[in-house]
Structure 1
Amino acid sequence: MSFSVHAEPASLQAVEWQWGTLFLQDYVNSNYNFMLMDVNGR
């Protein structure tokens, strides 16, 4: 019982970290493409 309760938050934390990384990569890629468009637009 103790192991099950302890293991659940760890896996949730791993999933949150994975989604956070994907979101961060998507955010950086979007800003990078926007900057490229801005530079090319001038």
Structure 2
Amino acid sequence: MDKFMTKKLALTAVLLGMALLTLTGCFMKSSRRFIEGKASG
């Protein structure tokens, strides 16, 4: 495996991780709002 390929894989992993974190954060926020809305409603 050459250096370029390793760099590409690392970059992809970082991007995937960031996307996953963002998605999880948004999901947690919206689900919390949904639960609070149900509780108050």
Return the TM-score normalized by structure 2. Answer: 0.81
Q: Give % identity.
A: 12
Structure 1 segments (4+ residues) deviating >6 Å = none
CA RMSD of aligned residues (A): 1.4
Count of residues in Structure 1 that have an aligned counterpart in Structure 2: 41
Aligned to 1:7: 6
Which runs of 5 or more residues in structure 2 are unaligned? none
Return the TM-score normalized by structure 1. Answer: 0.80
Deviation string, structure 1 residues 1-42 (Cα, Å, up to 9, x no partner): x71111111100000111111111111100110101111221
